[in-house]
């Protein structure tokens, strides 16, 4: 018999997927910008710039997610 999921479990899964996709999107944009800037210097700099840009993008996504989650918790607490 198939297992049924609760609304909370579905919401938590949806939140996790959203978080992963947001982090990937920001990392990809950071990598593209870093590689473009590094590419102005050399191929090695493009590779390094892409790696650093991807890391920075992932950190920004995580920070943005944490800040928006905290704000949402505060709003829900006030209600």
Q: Kindly state the tokens that stand for 27.
A: 């990392």
Structural domain containing residue 42: 24-78
pTM (2 decimals)? 0.70
Q: Is residue 19 part of a domain?
A: no
**Structural domains counted in the chain:** 1
Per-residue pLDDT tens for 8-18?
888 999 989 98
Q: What does the pLDDT read at residue 2?
A: 65
Per residue in 7-43, pLDDT (tens digit) is 888 899 998 998 899 889 999 999 999 999 999 999 9
Q: Give a yes or no: residue 5 inside a domain.
A: no
Residue 6 counted as domain residue: no
In a domain? residue 71:
yes
Q: Do 61 and 44 form a contact (C-beta atoms < 8 A)?
A: no
Decide if 9 is inside a domain: no
User: Which of 4-8, 47-51, 57-61 has the largest mean confidence?
Assistant: 47-51
Domain membership of residue 62 (yes or no) is yes
DSSP state of 6: -
Specify if 1 maps to a domain: no
Which tokens belong to 50?
């892409």
Q: Is residue 46 part of a domain?
A: yes
């Amino acid at each position: 018999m198939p297992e049924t999921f609760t609304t909370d479990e579905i919401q938590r899964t949806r939140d996790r997927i959203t978080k992963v996709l947001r982090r990937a999107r920001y990392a990809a944009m950071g990598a593209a910008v870093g590689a473009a800037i590094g590419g102005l210097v050399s191929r090695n700099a493009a590779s390094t710039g892409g790696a650093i840009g991807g890391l920075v993008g992932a950190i920004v996504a995580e920070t943005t997610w944490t800040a928006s989650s905290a704000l949402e918790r505060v709003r829900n607490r006030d209600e």
